Structure 1
Amino acid sequence: MTKSASLAAAVLALLPTAVLADAESDGLAEVKAFTLEHTARLEADTAALQNAVDAYAAILAAHQGDYAAALAAEGPALAEAIKAIRAAWLVASNDYETIEGIVAGVPSTALFDLILDAGNPGTEAEDVADYDLVLPDGTVLHQPGSLFHSLSEPLFWGTDPAHLIVAGDVDGDGAASPGEGLFDVNLAQGVATGLVKWSGELDVAMMAWEPNRNDAFAAVVTMTPTVGDYFGEWKESQFINGKIGAFVAQSRLVDVSGIMGGCKRMYFSAVSPVVAAGDPEMDATIRAAFDELLALVEETRTREAAGTAFGAEEADALGSEAQDMADRIVAMVLQAAARHDVKLEG
């Protein structure tokens, strides 16, 4: 073999590795860009939520903090202020849910998920959101739980009786709906400020993040199998059992769609190039399984939005079906991780 032929053979031998490296690198970069797009939105939309809360606070301040007097004098204005707060909350929360499957699955950023969305208060034994929240009056809440679901959602929707200061007909329709009333402005402003602060810190952390293969695999195998838990929370919510509790702002299925969509994005963009290089058939199977899982979630969500009343038994069956799909995905991804010497924590 001539020297030039030997060189050509060497180049051809290296080409698949180079192509893999480029595809994987591009995929990781795409995931980071997608995440940063949404952390930027999250910063802007939590700031909008803070402005909405401040408008509510201004009405109460005009009545020297007398909630009953404010309600009697400016019920319609307060109703509009609460409506604006809830609308802004939904936008900000959905910003985060879109990237939760990535943020919560990457070891170096998982703590932000506990603080913003999924963490328990310090009274619980595990998954505690380890931060303090300082309120405008100087009160410090130690490990109070996640900002979105432990604190602000039950506050803004009136399902936290400890902070519903005046219950009553705010919107003037002649009836006081469950949770309707005026909530604690001190806690509301503290939570809104906390959301702005931690959204900003998440954005900084994601800008500094240097995604790698271990992160990509970890996110997929950590977050994909949580789908069954989310279906369980959906089953226990008012959207199934009719009882007011957690997750009252919108169906938990909206969150499931965002979280599993993030898992799928991480696999398709950053993990698939690695798996396909060694086993294209397995990669095709995993991709099809992700498509099937997301189709199940979206179909269920569409049916619910169209008015289908799901019972607990059907919710259980759908959750089990989704969990089976997720478990099959994770089993295959773990096989691929072992083949490629991926280091997974825990």
Structure 2
Amino acid sequence: MLKKCTFIATVLMSSFVVSGEAGAADDAEVRGLTTVKQFTLDHNARLVAQAALLEAAVADYAAVIAAHKGDYAAAWAADGPKLAKQVEAIRSLWLEASNQYETIEGIVAGIPETAKYDLILDAGNPGTESEDVAQYDISLPDGTLLERPGNLFHGITEPLFWGMDASHVKLPADLNGDGKITRGEMLFDANLALGAVQALTHWSKALETDMASWKPNRDDAFTSVVTMTPTIGDYFGEWKESQFITGEIGAFVAQSRLVDVQGIMGGCKKMYFSAISPVVAESDADLDRRIKAAFEELLALVEDTYAREKAGARFGVEEADALGNEAQDIADRIVAMVLQAAAQKNVNIRG
């Protein structure tokens, strides 16, 4: 897979297209856009690899359950230690796969040609909602068809693997062997799990195919940054509502939402620094400097907040709100300046 991505990089120069401003882009812009595409393909390849490992691990778990004819209690009684290790491994593999995607989400979700994959993989709603619905279905191994079930990472597999949805908990189980069963210690629905991770593998590969076909261009680069940078307030809101603030189990239980925020905003920063900065700096070096400084300020705020959380700081709802508002203010300032630069360069921000 990585060899495939390296090959793609060698042909990017010939496929590069500049739209919005007449004439060819300068060498720095071409190199920057090529770098962003290659960065995305590299992490996409790792996502595909991790999804395959996760699918294999879930298949092993499902095989143990199937060996006991779908009787989870019998499976636990006979193979408890094995199942406990499998659940631990599945969670670890899920985290690695999710983090690989979060690293490129700020790019993928901001490019019109690939934005649909963000809804499917990470951010889309189920068909019961009126907007931002993930447009796909899942066929489970037992033949059940789940129509528009919501996004794969945070809507289906995370709640499933960490026991956040009681309807898919098949058996409470003392996974760590300490004589107590706490929340999250359980065996989950193997049928749903296998169908969901098979879908995760499929859509990760589909994203890779479309990303490989994407022709990097100036309009998409600006559109990506303008679209994704201001979403930071929503992510802080999700962090505020998670167990890391309220103590109540809900979404984003596998790890702090701030980890995801670092990845998403890191992708926005990379797009600007690599692909847009050469364009802006050419005619307005001061504006470019201010945009870069604002991105550094934004990432420093997120990184500092997460470092405090890891060190044991407990944030209240009001402080989380204040931090989210501060982050949103910086993001809005970035967008205003990038839009100013876009107007100067006659860039078309795609809706």
TM-score range, shorter chain: over 0.9
Partner of residue 154, structure 1: 159
Partner of residue 113, structure 2: 108
Q: Does 1:165 align with 2:170?
A: yes
What percent identity do the matched residue pairs reach?
66
Q: CA deviation at 1:168?
A: 3.1
Deviations 1:21-61 (A, max 9, x none): 21111100000000000010000000010011011112112
Question: Cα RMSD over matched residues?
Answer: 1.2
- Tell me how far apart the structure 1 counterparts of residues 326 and 42 of structure 2 sit (CA, whole Å): 32
Partner of residue 145, structure 1: 150
- Tell me how far apart the structure 1 counterparts of residues 249 and 185 of structure 2 sit (CA, whole Å): 12
Q: CA deviation at 1:171?
A: 2.9
Residues 17-56 of structure 1 aligned to structure 2 (within 5 Å): 21-56=26-61
Contact 2:171–2:187, Cα closer than 8 Å, also in 1: yes
- Tell me how far apart the structure 2 counterparts of residues 34 and 119 of structure 1 sit (CA, whole Å): 24
Partner of residue 312, structure 1: 317
Contact 1:71–1:170, Cα closer than 8 Å, also in 2: no
Q: CA deviation at 1:220?
A: 0.2
Partner of residue 57, structure 1: 62
Q: Does 1:261 align with 2:245?
A: no
- Tell me how far apart the structure 2 counterparts of residues 85 and 138 of structure 1 sit (CA, whole Å): 23
- Tell me how far apart the structure 1 counterparts of residues 219 and 101 of structure 2 sit (CA, whole Å): 22
Contact 1:132–1:143, Cα closer than 8 Å, also in 2: yes
Q: CA deviation at 1:63?
A: 1.2
Specify the structure having the higher radius of gyration (Cα).
Answer: 1
- Tell me how far apart the structure 1 counterparts of residues 24 and 296 of structure 2 sit (CA, whole Å): 25
Partner of residue 16, structure 2: none
- Tell me how far apart the structure 2 counterparts of residues 213 and 266 of structure 1 sit (CA, whole Å): 11
Contact 2:219–2:350, Cα closer than 8 Å, also in 1: no
In the alignment, which of 199, 203, 209 is matched to residue 204 of structure 2? 199
- Tell me how far apart the structure 1 counterparts of residues 31 and 174 of structure 2 sit (CA, whole Å): 54
Q: CA deviation at 1:74?
A: 1.5
Partner of residue 103, structure 2: 98
Q: Does 1:271 align with 2:261?
A: no
Which stretch of structure 1 is more off in the superposition, 165-174 or 248-257? 165-174
Partner of residue 239, structure 2: 234
Partner of residue 292, structure 1: 297
SS of alignment partner, residue 165 of structure 1: strand
In the alignment, which of 296, 299, 302 is matched to residue 307 of structure 2? 302
- Aligned length, in residue pairs: 330
The unaligned stretches of length 5 or more in structure 1 are: 1-16
Partner of residue 332, structure 1: 337
Contact 2:124–2:133, Cα closer than 8 Å, also in 1: yes
SS of alignment partner, residue 171 of structure 1: coil
SS of alignment partner, residue 239 of structure 1: coil
Which AA in structure 1 matches 2:107? Answer: I
Q: Does 1:250 align with 2:255?
A: yes
- Tell me how far apart the structure 2 counterparts of residues 20 and 285 of structure 1 sit (CA, whole Å): 23
Partner of residue 73, structure 2: 68
Q: CA deviation at 1:170?
A: 3.1
The unaligned stretches of length 5 or more in structure 2 are: 1-21
Deviations 1:167-216 (A, max 9, x none): 23233211111122111100000011001000000111111110100110
SS of alignment partner, residue 138 of structure 2: strand
Contact 2:220–2:350, Cα closer than 8 Å, also in 1: no
- Give the TM-score of the pair, scaled to structure 2: 0.92
Contact 1:41–1:95, Cα closer than 8 Å, also in 2: yes
Partner of residue 10, structure 2: none
In the superposition, relative to structure 1, how do residues 266 and 173 fare at CA in structure 2: closer, same or farther (>3 Å)? same
Which AA in structure 2 matches 1:309? Answer: R
